[in-house]
Chain A
Amino acid sequence: MKPPSNPYVLLAEDDRFLRRACETRLRQMGLTVATAVDGEQALRMIQEQAPAAILLDLLMPKITGIEVLRHLRAHQDTRDIPVLILTNSPRECDVEEIHRLGVSGYRVKAELSLQELGRCVAQLLAPKE
């Protein structure tokens, strides 16, 4: 999938049901959305065209979310892209490293409604004061 040329939100999520629900909600909000089914695809799209914000799953095939995040933060042109971590296993991964790398939010999908998710994304895209 090619990333759109105008500002877009990248959704990296390997579960197709979650991807569909999330994408639908973001489009309802009038956002341009591109989706990636694994970390590798996400990285490719980011390199081609930097998104305005990224919703990043952690447990994904090929390249995990945390590896994607490390890569983003290590490069000048992607360092400042706001990232919202969406996970279902918050305790099993290295929370400290994620916070050190810098994320805008860290949410458990099963405990989040789409309505709340929408608010989170709106905050992510809000111009910084």
Chain B
Amino acid sequence: MRRLNRGAGSDDREDVLTLPTIVTKEASTGNKRIKVLVADDDPVSLHVLRGVLNNTGYEVIPAKCGLDALAVLRSDTPPRLAVLDWNMPDITGLEICRQVRESGNGQYTYIVLLTGRTGREDKAESLETGADDCLTKPFDVRELRARLQTGSRIIAEKEAQEALARSEALFRAITEHAADLIAVFDERYRFVYASPSYSSVLGYSAQELLAKNGYDLVHPDDREALERNRRQVLGGDKGETLTVQVQHKNESWRSIEVHMGGLLRGSLNGLLQIARDVTAQKQAQDELQSALQMKSDFISFATHQLRTPLAGIKWLLELAAQGSELGEETLSLVQDARDSAERLIGLVNDLLDVSRLESGRLKLHPEETTLGELTQGVLQLLGHQIDERGHQVSVSGESEAPPVRVDKQLFRQVILNLVSNAIKYTPPGGHIDIEMGPKDGFAYWAIHDSGVGIPDSAKGRLFEKFFRADNVQRMETEGTGLGLYIVRLVVERSGGYVWCESEEGQGTTFRWEIPAGDCRP
């Protein structure tokens, strides 16, 4: 801060005339100057006051008459300070005071009246009317500065109080209207504050709760866990969110999710707790759980109950087909029956795989293996079909592909589904190229065929359950639309992803990637 050099005995009014640049700390808050309204009908006085206050660091709003001053004080953003001359021809400073205070507007303005008279009544009258201070002309500029400084402080305090009251009202409104149960507890877990929501959720008024210990409402089985959590929070750790049973005033039990938010310190000591009634969610969750259990029970029922008679049909037809006394026609009927049984078994298997994968209850049995080994197994199984269609099949990258840890049975299924699709949807004598290898910590597997391809319209829905593209739907009706869905479920379940590129009539590429085995923890 710079201070003006001035000789002994010099007067502040002289400073004004030389217009020194003094910016005092009191008059500016940061970069913002405090506004002060100065009203005087005498242009010289106004000029002097303006100069003095301007140089003290105030932002002066000058008013040449009383009505101008009144307009400023009644504006939306009245200045914090006002210096009003008592005697103005249109409206007196005293009258301005009265009007401003009566209207309630400008209550945050600290008003100093300047009077030429000296009678004590004047001072008393002005203070009664609502002026905050009164100075008799001629006055010492230092005194005016000091009084404005005091006024500024008083107004600032008043504003701070008002802001605090507003903030208090805001937070009170939030806690009082919150559906959550908000409470503050003392060091023995007794209620110090309970939000009104307690009465709608648990039937107790805030008043009734104040006498109670928080544990009185909690089911005995849940108290220990809650107390452990409380000690944790008291020890300065982060609290967990617990769901406990809490008794309603009508003795029914509610599921309440409790979060101990932390410690309040300082003027208010206590433990802040925010809780929520989750009874409805809990019930829905229990119902969902039991529905999932039923689904799982049904799956294991269906697995056994459907597959056992199917296996019986399959085996008995296999024996029947051996019969040497069968005629050619009968043998062909038996063979068709066998094929049909196989198809039904495949369908049941697919449905079971889908149900298990969807329910997330399928227990995976990961084993170390290679994509090459899985691929060769599948090709061996499908060798007959490949030969029948006269396809050229190539496999590359087997030795480069990193080992993987996967459920072998499921991945054999993935490869089987993709290879048999390629066989089915590629015209006889086509090319099928299988490729595998490493890719940034993943192992990839891809199959290219020179088949019918996938129409653009079908690409978005290709991996959906029961979806079949139009062009393959026209070719044969056997497919279930489960094969690619299973591929996606298995690959994604193993932390990988699958996608496809194709142009109708040109062929198709399916590609999937899964984390390489040695990347697993």
Cβ-defined contact, A114 with B365, below 8 A: no
Q: How far is the CB of A28 from chain B (nearest CB, A)?
A: 8
In the complex, A21→B349 CA distance in Å? 22
CB contacts (< 8 Å) of B147 on chain A: these are none
Q: Are B315 and A21 in contact (CB under 8 A)?
A: yes
Residues of B within 8 A of A108 (CB): 307
Q: Are B365 and A113 in touch, CB under 8 angstroms?
A: no
Q: A18-B308, A91-B356, A92-B300 are in contact. Are A110 and B319 (CB under 8 A)?
A: no
Asked if A25 is at the interface of the complex by the 8 Å CB criterion, the answer is yes
Known: A88-B303, A109-B308. A20 touches B316 (CB 8 A): yes
**What string of 1s and 0s marks CB contacts (under 8 Å) between B288-326 and chain A?**
000000000000100110011111111110110000000
Asked if A91 and B362 sit within 8 Å, CB to CB, the answer is yes
Overall SS of chain A's interface? helix
Assess the A113–B314 pair: CB atoms within 8 A.
Answer: yes
> Which single member of B304, B313, B316, B319 contacts A88 (CB below 8 Å)?
B304
In the assembled complex, the Cα of A20 lies from the Cα of B365 at a distance in Å of 33
Contacts of B318 in A (CB 8 A): 21, 113-115
Nearest Cβ distance between residue A59 and chain B, in whole angstroms? 6
Q: Which residues of A contact B395 (CB under 8 A)?
A: none
Q: How many residues of B contact A (CB 8 A)?
A: 22
Q: Which of chain B's residues has its CB closest to A18's CB?
A: B312
Most buried by A among B313, B314, B315, B363: B315
Q: How many angstroms from the CA of A24 to the CA of B322 in the assembled complex? A: 12
**Least CB distance, B380 to chain A, in whole angstroms:** 13
A111 at the A/B interface (Cβ < 8 Å)? yes
- Within the complex, the shortest CB–CB distance from B366 to chain A, in Å, comes to 12
B348 within 8 A of A: yes
Flag if A88 contacts B308 (CB, 8 Å).
yes
- Proximity bits, A60-83, B CB within 8 Å = 1, else 0: 000000000000000000000000
Given the known inter-chain contacts A17-B316, A21-B319, A25-B319, please indicate yes or no for A110 contacting B365, CB distance below 8 A. Answer: no
A29 at the interface (CB under 8 A from B): no
Chain B: minimal CB distance from A81 (Å): 24
Asked whether any CB of chain A lies closer than 8 Å to the CB of B345, the reply is yes
Please report the C-alpha to C-alpha distance between residue A15 and residue B309 in the assembled complex, in whole angstroms: 8
Name B352's closest neighbour in chain A (CB-CB): A91
Which residues of the partner chain A approach B303 to less than 8 Å between Cβ atoms?
Answer: 88-89, 91-92
The reply to whether A21 and B316 contact each other, CB–CB distance below 8 Å, is: yes
Would you give the shortest CB distance from B365 to chain A, in whole angstroms?
A: 7
Contact with B along A70-107 (1 / 0, CB 8 A): 00000000000000000011011001000000000000
Q: With A and B bound together, what is the CA distance between A62 and B254 in angstroms?
A: 44
Chain B, range 343-359, C-beta contacts under 8 Å to A: 345, 348-349, 356
User: Is the beta-carbon distance between A88 and B311 smaller than 8 angstroms?
Assistant: yes
Q: How far is the CB of A107 from chain B (nearest CB, A)?
A: 11
Residues of B contacting A115 in the complex (Cβ-Cβ under 8 angstroms): 318
Please measure, in the bound complex, the distance between the C-alpha atom of A29 and the C-alpha atom of B303, giving whole angstroms.
30
Of residues 362 to 404 in B, which have CB atoms within 8 Å of A's CB atoms?
362-363, 365
Chain B contacts of A111 at CB under 8 A?
Answer: 345, 349
Contact B345–A15 (Cβ < 8 Å): no
Contact with B315, one of A22, A59, A91, A95 (Cβ below 8 angstroms): A22
Cα(A113)–Cα(B316), bound, Å: 10
Whether B319 contacts A95 by the Cβ 8 Å rule is no
Instruction: Given A21-B319, A110-B345, A110-B348, verify A91-B304 contact (CB < 8 Å).
Output: no
Are B319 and A109 closer than 8 Å at their CB atoms? no
- Cross-interface CB contact of B304 among A17, A25, A59, A95, cutoff 8 Å: A59
| Inter-chain contacts of A110 with B (CB < 8 A) | 307-308, 310-311, 314, 345, 348-349
What's the Cα separation between A25 and B303 when bound, in Å?
24
Digit string of A36-79 for contact with B (CB within 8 Å is 1, else 0)? 00000000000000000000000100000000000000000000
Nearest opposing residue in chain A for B361, CB measure:
A91
Given A89-B300, A95-B365: A15 and B307 interface contact (C-beta under 8 Å): no
Query: A residues near B, CB below 8 A?
Result: 15, 17-18, 20-22, 24-25, 59, 88-89, 91-92, 95, 108-115
Give 16 CB contacts A-B under 8 Å. A17-B312, A21-B312, A21-B315, A88-B303, A88-B304, A88-B307, A88-B308, A95-B365, A109-B307, A109-B308, A110-B307, A110-B310, A110-B314, A111-B349, A112-B311, A113-B315
Closest 5 pairs (CB-CB, A-B)? A17-B312, A21-B315, A109-B311, A88-B307, A110-B307
